[in-house]
Chains A and B, each alone.
Chain A
Amino acid sequence: MSGKTANYYELLEIRPDASNMDIINAYRQAKLTFKADSMATYSLFDEEELRQMQEQIEQAYATLSNIEKRRVYDRQLGLSREEGASGRETADTVQDNVVTLDGGAERPAGIRYRMAVATVFTGRLLREVREFRGIELAAIAEHTKISRQYLQAIEDEDEKHLPEPAYLKGYLKQYAAEIGLDPERVVGRYPPLQRGD
């Protein structure tokens, strides 16, 4: 590049003090926009450019969605503690004491806490997290190109309709990223994947 490359915040078009929800939303928007057969980029970017863009978006998200990685990255960028990661939570690690701050009364009690400490990610918990974040299953199907039936089967733990474990792992990771959970954590704690082996 002849110019300076955009940092992860610039890439996702968010501010350095963006909240986790801002990051998830920006990530979803960017992912949807620059997916391979996106209508919005038609005739503007070629395949290779889209591929590069997707790679950068994934990198940015992998760092910014992880509290430790984000902290290190912010330090590299020279962001001060105030603007930087201090005091923020990543999507899936939230202290119990902030739960009441923005968890509305109509939301399931303690969902943030439960997702933070979960040792098992049941399909039911995954669905709760998704609904808590206001994300439609159809939107995930559209972004990831995973069929709705598979996504539904993941949330239902419907083993008759789940794909082979190798595929399931891949799908589950993408699904987890879409709802702002750490993909590795979810894959390691999703019951149907544990039963198999």
Chain B
Amino acid sequence: MHENGHAANVVRLQRQPESCGPRIWAVASGKGGVGKSLISSSLGLALSRQGRRVVLVDLDLGGANLHTCLGMPHPDVTLSDFIDSRDRTINEFVQPLQDLPAGLISGAADGLEVANLKHFQKQKIIRNLRHIHADYVILDLGAGTAFNTLDFFIAAERGIISVVPDPTSIENTYRFLKCAFTRRLREVPKQTRKLMARILGMRQGEKRRIRTLAASLNAMQQLHPEHARLLQGELARQKLHLIVNQVLEPSDTELGPSMALACHKYFGQPLEYLGHLNHDRQIITALRGRKPFLTTYPQSRAAINLEHMAAALLDQDSRSEA
């Protein structure tokens, strides 16, 4: 079907007119175990409860457990089968969820590891995401900054990042963002990249070098405005969002707005704070009962917050369509 591309670069999904494919959101984090699978499964369920057709794709290859978060049995078809298949479309690998217009493409297969994924296999996956029959495709990514993970991330039109209020998670979040932005800069023309590299080595004031993306974009704007426009255009293709998970103290709720502000100052790009989720034992209870949290405890604070987050993003999408 769509197997004829030899593109060396990552396929640019959002360059396609919106009407011809699903909207793609990726859920990522710098550190593991901070709630990506909880968030992607819950956002997916919330969207489908709003009547949107949703397909969740478990791209945490090597650690895939999204089916468990959704209360589904261990899948018998996976992405691995799709990668190996020659003549079946990606839609044949979607496992439907009961009662809701939602499905899962699982990544839970022995031997399917993000580190071992070959370039053409990754390309095949990314290229086919937009052929999935759905309104929304939600990617649950593995933790960390593996190139394949970053490429899945930057293929999405929204990147949703989960962080927990502790310094290791925050540190890894910023590392993840730096890596994702750096990866994204490979998408601009070579000349622009070269100029950018030169600016990053320049002095700023008396002794300090230009260190932040914000400062280098600013310098680029002064020196080479037409290249600055190209860069900004590339960076603006993806909207970034932040969720603070596992909040224990009231003061932890200050973290989200502060991280958003710090990121804006550092990267010169908006990172929108979507809200926080309390640490909630019912999340673990649902998991132990092999039930999806959102639909099992819909009255819990965390479930309500997740519904709000999904609604806010839907609202942004409908505004951008208008």
Cα A2 to Cα B254 in complex, Å, equals 33
B148 at the interface (CB under 8 A from A): no
Cα A4 to Cα B221 in complex, Å, equals 9
Task: Give the segment of A32-40, A71-79, A177-185 that binds chain B.
Answer: A32-40
A2 touches B264 (CB 8 A): no
- Distance (whole angstroms) from the CB of B86 to the closest CB of chain A: 46
Main secondary structure of the interface of A (DSSP, over half): loop
Please give the residue numbers on chain A whose beta carbons come within 8 Å of chain B beta carbons, in ascending order.
Answer: 1-4, 13, 29-30, 32-34, 38-45, 48, 53, 142
A29 touches B258 (CB 8 A): yes
A40 touches B262 (CB 8 A): yes
Q: Which of B242-290 touch A at CB < 8 Å?
A: 251, 254-255, 257-259, 261-266
Partner of B171, one of A1, A3, A43, A142: A43
Q: How big is chain B's contact interface, by range?
A: 20 to 34
Partner of A142, one of B170, B222, B251: B251
A33 touches B261 (CB 8 A): yes
Cα A3 to Cα B210 in complex, Å, equals 10
Which residues of A lie under 8 Å from residue B218 when comparing CB positions?
A: 1-4
B174 at the interface (CB under 8 A from A): yes
Cα A13 to Cα B259 in complex, Å, equals 14
A41 touches B264 (CB 8 A): no
- 16 A-B residue pairs with CB within 8 Å: A1-B204, A1-B205, A1-B215, A2-B202, A2-B204, A2-B218, A2-B223, A4-B218, A4-B222, A38-B258, A38-B262, A40-B170, A40-B254, A42-B170, A142-B251, A142-B254
B222 touches A43 (CB 8 A): no
| Cβ-closest 9 pairs across A and B | A3-B218, A40-B258, A33-B258, A2-B219, A43-B171, A40-B259, A3-B219, A33-B261, A41-B262
- Distance (whole angstroms) from the CB of A18 to the closest CB of chain B: 15
- Distance (whole angstroms) from the CB of A197 to the closest CB of chain B: 38
Please give the residue numbers on chain B whose beta carbons come within 8 Å of chain A beta carbons, in ascending order.
Answer: 165, 167, 170-171, 174-175, 199, 202-205, 208, 210, 215, 217-219, 221-223, 251, 254-255, 257-259, 261-266
Cα A48 to Cα B206 in complex, Å, equals 14
A42 touches B258 (CB 8 A): no
Knowing A33-B258, A33-B261 are in contact, say whether A3-B221 is a contact too (CB < 8 A): yes
Taking A2-B210, A40-B170 as given, write out 15 further A-B residue pairs in contact, using a Cβ cutoff of 8 Å, ordered by the A residue number. A2-B218, A3-B215, A3-B218, A3-B222, A13-B264, A29-B261, A32-B254, A33-B262, A39-B170, A40-B255, A40-B258, A42-B167, A43-B167, A43-B174, A45-B262
Which residues of A lie under 8 Å from residue B219 when comparing CB positions?
A: 2-3
Which residues of A lie under 8 Å from residue B221 when comparing CB positions?
A: 3
Which residues of B lie under 8 Å from residue A45 when comparing CB positions?
A: 262, 265-266
B170 touches A43 (CB 8 A): yes
Which residues of B lie under 8 Å from residue A32 when comparing CB positions?
A: 254, 258
Which residues of B lie under 8 Å from residue A39 when comparing CB positions?
A: 165, 167, 170, 255, 258
Which of A13, A33, A40, A42 has most B Cβ within 10 Å?
Answer: A40
Which residues of B lie under 8 Å from residue A30 when comparing CB positions?
A: 261
Q: Which residue of A lies closest to B171 (CB)?
A: A43
Partner of B261, one of A13, A42, A43: A13
Cα A32 to Cα B263 in complex, Å, equals 14
- Distance (whole angstroms) from the CB of B33 to the closest CB of chain A: 19
Q: Which residue of A lies closest to B228 (CB)?
A: A3
Cα A44 to Cα B218 in complex, Å, equals 18
Cα A42 to Cα B221 in complex, Å, equals 28
Knowing A2-B202, A29-B258, A142-B251 are in contact, say whether A44-B266 is a contact too (CB < 8 A): yes
- Distance (whole angstroms) from the CB of A47 to the closest CB of chain B: 13
Cα A13 to Cα B265 in complex, Å, equals 10
Which residues of A lie under 8 Å from residue B171 when comparing CB positions?
A: 42-43
